[in-house]
Amino acid sequence: MFQGLTGWHLLVVLAVILLLFGAAKLPALAKSMGQSARVFKSEMKEMKRDDEISTSSADASRVTDAGTTPPAAPEPRRSNDPTV
């Protein structure tokens, strides 16, 4: 598809972009694209971390289901006062 493109084609495309957006808007456009890429990258890391956490918790629940019982919650203290 792009086999016939040369350096002149790239220059023409860049000139058209410059005409459409203007020289003043290009730095702001590049900055916003960079910020978007950073946010996307951090969200991908967060999703991977969440997957690892859910996988480890699923592994832990399989161990619990395999025959060992989790420790029981302690019983609440009872007072000797009959009015309570």
pLDDT band at 44 (very low <50, low <70, confident <90, very high): very high
Rounded to whole angstroms, the Cα distance separating 74 from 84 reads: 20
Half-sphere CA count of 16, side-chain side, radius 13 A: 6
**Length reported for the chain:** 84
Sorting pLDDT into bands at 50, 70 and 90, what band is 41? very high
For residue 75, the 8-state DSSP code is P
Comparing 47 with 82, which gets the higher pLDDT?
Answer: 47
Per-residue pLDDT tens digits for 64-78? 555 555 566 666 666
Residue 37 reports pLDDT greater than 80:
yes
Domain ranges in the chain are 30-58
More confident residue, 76 or 24: 24
Q: The whole model's pTM is what?
A: 0.45
Q: What is the mean pLDDT of residues 42-62?
A: 84
